[in-house]
């Protein structure tokens, strides 16, 4: 792990090319940036002498969403917000944007009370978001502090073949303790990601990935100016309840479905102002597809990792599938006030790991059985007789370092969710550029579903067994027995 140093560390500036004034500005910008986060620290990777030529190493240990990083130099743009993440500061050196990524073991709080031992970059999984402008020359220093070799593949970028990061094919692996340099021009604007192309199954299962955004240099008819720009990565982990480290041999049966390596209720809400044009950039580095669904609004897919989509190719959606290895950039005008659910539509991806094997017991009557078992095991509980919602509220003894399968308190009770779930909060008085959480929505009088208190009429029922055109031949009722598999793994 990085050894935190004070923000006044000078180790990284031995070869500082800035004038004092620009350096001061960059420094002030950096401090402001660090101040917002409360967790970003400058850190010394190796000796100050060895560090002299490298851009300052910045790490981030807090899982809180950091305010967007307003570019202190270079071409201006409206920066992205990475929920429960942050953007990596850079050094401008002779017109080149220099970044320093460090691949290393990290501790990621996936939700309050649940920490995972992952691999990531600069103190977090996922790594920091990289933001540049189309046409920027970018130099990436990548230091490896993992116990095995690694590399970085810049997913979706046009670049010289030798910078593409596939170990063995384009470069040798970066051995532990070594630093490699990648350099290329960010040739096309869009939404990209980065991840290792070395022992990929292990390194991605351990959380190594990050977002990359290239802002357009000129106005582009297919790229709108937006008020809010969010980016997050879909990732999947297999961590047994009570354990800290993902199982790296898992190929399909992952049990934790995360956005930026966070699970509900640990995923920050998406807070916007009414009327904002909102963009979300979503990348999928799990081993299955995720239909991402937003309530209350229609959106369009305005771009993929292949670039902005032509306007004529867009259509309204409320759910878009993000397949394995894909990125989708969606946009909408947030014109409906409220707290709108936003989630993966695979219902087992909005649940966390199950600590127990639970058979389907809906409708089963085991009153007598429960009594008999309670005589032997006093705290025995039957689960699932009335569905699974009870489990969200039940005070079940959970192993240490885990989180309930379905949880999260809303203004009306338990939200009964986990995994890939968050809330889009649209407010009239959210200030421009303010991404902070406005709290729960205050519903105008008479706009909340309510309990019917009147008499219930008995429903009219059809008297014949089928329509006259297709009368049923056999009137003997058939009883169908359905039993769902009861495993606790949530495979794709
Ligand atoms: Cu999903």
Share of the chain above pLDDT 70, in %: 74
46-75 average pLDDT score: 80
Which run of H or E residues covers position 200? helix 200-205
Report DSSP letters for 401-416, one per residue. S---SSEEEETTEEEE
Residue 24: asked if its preceding bond is cis (omega within 30°), the reply is no
pLDDT tens-digit readout, 268-299: 999 999 999 999 999 999 999 999 999 999 99
pLDDT at site 471: 61
pLDDT at site 368: 67
Separation of CA 124 and ligand 1 centre (Å): 22
Give exposure, 231-258, as e/b (b: 16+ Cβ within 10 Å): bbbbbbbbbbbebeebeeebeeebbbbb
pLDDT at site 95: 93
pLDDT at site 236: 93
Task: For the chain, give the mean pLDDT.
Answer: 83
Separation of CA 310 and ligand 1 centre (Å): 27
pLDDT tens-digit readout, 225-279: 999 999 999 999 998 888 889 988 888 888 899 999 999 999 999 999 999 999 9
pLDDT at site 108: 96
Report DSSP letters for 9-49, one per residue. --GGGTT--S-HHHHHHHHHHHHHHHHHHS-EEEEE-S-HH
Separation of CA 480 and ligand 1 centre (Å): 30
pLDDT at site 415: 87
pTM for the model stands at 0.80
Quick check: 92 pLDDT over 80?
yes
Q: If pLDDT is split at 50, 70 and 90, which confidence band does 316 have?
A: very high
pLDDT tens-digit readout, 368-387: 666 666 676 666 555 566 66
Quick check: 34 pLDDT over 90?
no
Separation of CA 353 and ligand 1 centre (Å): 14
pLDDT tens-digit readout, 389-419: 665 555 556 677 777 777 788 999 888 888 9
Separation of CA 329 and ligand 1 centre (Å): 17
- Range list of H helices, 218-328: none
Q: If pLDDT is split at 50, 70 and 90, which confidence band does 35 have?
A: very low
pLDDT at site 361: 56
Separation of CA 350 and ligand 1 centre (Å): 7
What would the two tokens of residue 230 be? 């969010």
Separation of CA 217 and ligand 1 centre (Å): 34
Quick check: 23 pLDDT over 50?
no
pLDDT tens-digit readout, 424-471: 999 999 999 899 999 999 999 999 999 999 988 887 776 665 556 666
pLDDT at site 369: 63
């Amino acid at each position: 792990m990085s050894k935190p140093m004070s923000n006044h560390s000078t180790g990284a500036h031995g070869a500082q090319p800035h004038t004092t004034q620009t350096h001061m500005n960059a420094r002030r910008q950096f401090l402001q940036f660090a101040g917002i986060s409360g967790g970003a620290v400058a850190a010394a990777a190796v000796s100050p002498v060895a560090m002299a030529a490298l851009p300052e190493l910045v790490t981030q240990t807090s899982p809180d969403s950091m305010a967007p990083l307003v570019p202190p130099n270079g071409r201006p743009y409206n920066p992205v917000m990475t929920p429960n993440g942050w953007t990596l500061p850079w050094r401008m050196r002779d017109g080149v944007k220099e970044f320093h990524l460090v691949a290393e073991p990290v501790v990621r709080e996936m939700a309050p009370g649940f920490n995972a031992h992952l691999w990531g970059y600069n103190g977090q999984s996922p790594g920091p978001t990289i933001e540049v402008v189309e046409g920027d020359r970018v130099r990436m220093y990548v230091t490896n502090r993992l116990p095995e070799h690694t590399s970085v593949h810049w997913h979706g970028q046009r670049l010289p073949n030798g910078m593409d990061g596939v170990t063995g094919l384009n470069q040798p692996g970066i051995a532990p303790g070594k630093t490699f340099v990648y350099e290329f021009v960010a040739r096309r604007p869009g939404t990209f990601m980065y991840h290792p192309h070395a022992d990929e199954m292990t390194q991605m299962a351990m959380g190594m990935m990050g977002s990359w955004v290239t802002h357009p240099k000129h106005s582009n008819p297919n790229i709108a100016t937006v008020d809010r720009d969010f980016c997050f990565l879909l990732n999947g982990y297999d961590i047994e309840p009570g354990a800290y480290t993902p199982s790296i041999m898992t190929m399909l049966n992952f049990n934790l479905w995360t956005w930026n390596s966070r699970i509900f209720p640990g995923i920050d809400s998406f807070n916007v102002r009414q009327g904002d044009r909102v963009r979300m950039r979503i990348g999928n580095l799990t081993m299955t597809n995720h239909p991402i669904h937003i309530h209350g609004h229609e959106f369009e897919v305005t771009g993929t990792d292949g670039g902005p989509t032509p306007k004529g190719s867009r259509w309204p959606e409320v759910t878009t599938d993000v397949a394995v290895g894909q990125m989708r950039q969606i946009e909408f005008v947030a014109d409906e006030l409220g707290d709108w659910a936003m989630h993966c539509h695979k219902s087992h991806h909005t649940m966390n790991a199950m600590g127990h094997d639970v058979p389907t017991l809906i409708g089963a009557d085991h009153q007598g059985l429960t009594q008999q078992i309670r005589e032997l095991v006093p705290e025995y509980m039957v689960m699932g007789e009335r569905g699974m919602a009870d489990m969200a509220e039940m005070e079940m003894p959970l192993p240490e370092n885990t989180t309930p399968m379905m949880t999260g308190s809303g203004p009306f009770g338990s939200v009964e969710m986990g995994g890939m779930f968050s809330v889009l909060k649209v407010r009239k008085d959210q200030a421009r550029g303010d991404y902070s959480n406005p709290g729960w929505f205050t519903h105008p009088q008479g706009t909340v579903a309510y309990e019917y208190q009147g008499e219930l009429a008995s429903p009219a029922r059809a008297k014949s067994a089928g329509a006259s055109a297709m009368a049923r031949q056999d009137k003997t009722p058939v009883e169908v027995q359905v039993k769902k598999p009861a495993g606790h793994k949530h495979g794709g």
